[in-house]
Every structure is written in C-alpha cells, then in structure tokens.
Amino acid sequence: MEFESKLSFMEITSPCPKSAVHPISYPFNSRNISNTIATSKKPPFRIHLQSQKPNRKTLQLTRPLEKKNKTTTPTCTSSDILRLIDALRFPVPMDVYASLVKECTVSPCVRTENVALGSQIHGWLIKAGSSRDLFLSSSLINFYGKNGCLEGADFVFNQVSRRNTVIWTARIVNNCREERFGDVIDIYKEMGREGARKNSFTVSSVLKACRKIEDGGRCGRQVHADAIKLGLVSKNYVQSVLVGMYGRFGLVTDARRMFEINADGRNAACWSAMLAGYMRNGLCIEAIKILYEMNVAGLKPQESLLNEIMSACGSKSIENNNGGY
C-alpha cells in the first residue's frame, strides 16, 4: 500500500487554553506513532496571556508549581514551538523549520517519537504551503531516511517537481543505508535519465551499493565509467571506494591502478582500502609493502588490519620493524 494512501488526519490537542489555540490537523499518522504530547509524564506547559492582545513581551512559559514557593526553570520542546507558532500566527522563516527537522534527525530520542514529531512538522509545512521548498524537502528526506521511514522519504521526494542533486543523493543514501542496493542502482539510472547533475558524493554512495551486489564488479565498472566521464575519479571519496570495490571482487590490478591515480592526494581511507584488498586476496607481501609506505607517509593503519596482517604472515616481526606499530 502506498505511503500516501495510509495517511490520515491526526489531531494534536494543545495543552494551552482552548481560547488561545485552535487544534491543528496534520496529514500524517502511523500505527507506530503515539500521542507523545498527551501521554507525556512532564507537567504540560501553560501559556499565560494578559487581557490585551498577545505579543512577544506578554507571552510567558511556566510549569505548574511542584511545591509551594518553588518554581522550575522554563523549558521548551519542538512540539511546544509548533503550538506557539499556530497560536500566535507568527511568520516563520524557512531556516526555523529546517532547524526543527534537524532536531528530529539528531535527537537521541526513541525513533518512533522522532517520526511522530517530524511528521507534525511536515504537516505544519504542508499547512503553511512550504512543503515543496527544495532545502526543506532535502531535510525531510534526510530525516525520514535516518529514522528508517523510506515511505515518508519517497512521499516527500515525489512531491518535489524540480529535483536537484541534493534531493537525488539524499534518496540514494537512504536506500543504501537500508541495504536496498538494487533500488540504489535504479534510482541512479533514473537520475541520469532526468539529466540531474551528479557529484562525488552521489557517485561514491552508489559505488558503496555496487560493492555489496554480487555481480563480480560489473555494476561498479559501469559507475566507474560514468565517474570518468564526469571527471570525478580523482576525488578522494570516489577513489577510495573504487579501490575497495575492486579489491572486494578480487580485481587487485584494477584496485592498484585506481590507487595510483591520485598519488599525492591519497587519504587514509584510500590507503586502508588498498591494504584490505591485498589482505582479502592473500597477497601478504604486497600488503606489507603498503604498510611500510603508509609509515613513510606518516599514516597508521587500522588496528584490525594490522592484526590481520600479523596473523596472516605468521610473524610479529612487522610490529617490531614497522615504526613501532
């Protein structure tokens, strides 16, 4: 069943006085989303307004007194901000909405609660007529993806008429994170058909999916060819992922060729990918050579790779002779 067909209106009841706030209806709901506002154990916020027309100076947030003559420090959550926005009808800049979505993405709260709050914000954006803004759309796609709700991410994606590189790449990253590698390739092809511009992050994300597809590296070769046309092969992200992908499928010669492309600009990830490729294919001598080269370049391999090399070579002489690793 499509995500849009499962949407129903969810009424969020404000703890503010009825005369101050009208209930808002948001077009998002889920069986996994509970009414976190109504069931919260914290004392609800109260808005105290004077008899005159409310303004920023007369608005105060307080909690009920826990004990006589004892007050608590006022705090405010994203849900409270939404209720205040609706109550006072303030014009809200786009970056405020983006900050609220980001709060849902990076918040350490339970995933279900994040989705509930993010859906409320999304509903508010639809109500405000700002849901198709490219910056906000990319933030929403990123939010839904990080919370494992690909249906929500796809819903936002389908509402955007003119998709840019960030929108497409966000969708690719989401599907790669959820290990839907076949879908990643399909989205990448669709992106090409629509003529969307691809950057190094787009290509490297797709190559990570190719590394997980058991086709002997054929898919990765096609993306590699595309990266050559786009002039992205020498970019650090793309180079290191290509080295790792070819090493993963036993194509050590191709991995080494990629490793040598940008000799002066190699990062630690590229060195580690080449080292892991040699070890995966049982080439201990070449791996030891890379280890020494890394030492000369002032880099240290991951401890897990170093332990694997020592175990495979059957000697701890590497540890004694390789700069104190």
pLDDT tops 80 at residue 287: yes
Q: Are 213 and 244 in contact (CB under 8 A)?
A: no
Please, how many CA atoms are within 13 Å of residue 165, restricted to the half-sphere of its CB?
8
- The reply to whether the predicted model has a pTM over 0.75 is no
Angle at CA of residue 57, ends 100 and 83, nearest 5°: 35
Q: Which amino acid is at 105?
A: T
| pLDDT for the residue numbered 12 | 38
Rounded Cα–Cα distance for residues 177 and 43 (Å): 38
Q: Which residue has the tokens 């819903």?
A: 155
Length of the chain: 325
Among the listed residues 212, 164, 160, the one whose alpha carbon sits nearest the alpha carbon of residue 184: 212
Q: From the CA atom positions of the chain, what is the Rg in Å?
A: 26
Q: What would the 3-class secondary structure string for the chain be?
A: CCCHHHCCCEEECCCCCCCCCCCEEECCCCCCCCCCCCCCCCCCCEEECCCCCCCCCCCEEECCCCECCECCCCCCCHHHHHHHHHHHCCCCCHHHHHHHHHHHHHCCCCHHHHHHHHHHHHHHHHHHCCCCCHHHHHHHHHHHHHCCCHHHHHHHHHHCCCCCHHHHHHHHHHHHHCCCHHHHHHHHHHHHHCCCCCCHHHHHHHHHHHHHCCCCCHHHHHHHHHHHHHCCCCCHHHHHHHHHHHHHCCCHHHHHHHHHHCHHHCCHHHHHHHHHHHHHCCCHHHHHHHHHHHHHCCCCCCHHHHHHHHHHHCCCHHHHHCCCC
Q: Which residue has the tokens 């909405």?
A: 97
pLDDT tops 90 at residue 218: yes
Distance of CA 145 to the CA centre of its chain: 6
Average pLDDT score, the chain: 73
Rounded Cα–Cα distance for residues 220 and 123 (Å): 39
Token digits of residue 312: 């495979």
Residue 119 makes CB contacts below 8 A (sequence gap 6+) with: 10, 26, 28, 29, 30, 33, 152
pLDDT tops 90 at residue 164: yes
User: pLDDT for 92-139, tens place per residue?
Assistant: 555 665 666 665 554 544 455 567 777 777 777 777 666 667 888 888
- Helix axes 181-193 and 165-177, enclosed angle (nearest 10): 170
User: pLDDT for 13-29, tens place per residue?
Assistant: 334 334 333 444 444 44
Q: Are 237 and 267 in contact (CB under 8 A)?
A: no
| pLDDT for the residue numbered 17 | 39
Query: Checking DSSP bridges between strand 24-26 and strand 10-12, what pairing results, if any?
Result: antiparallel
Among the listed residues 14, 68, 18, the one whose alpha carbon sits nearest the alpha carbon of residue 44: 14
Mean pLDDT to the nearest integer, 263-270? 86
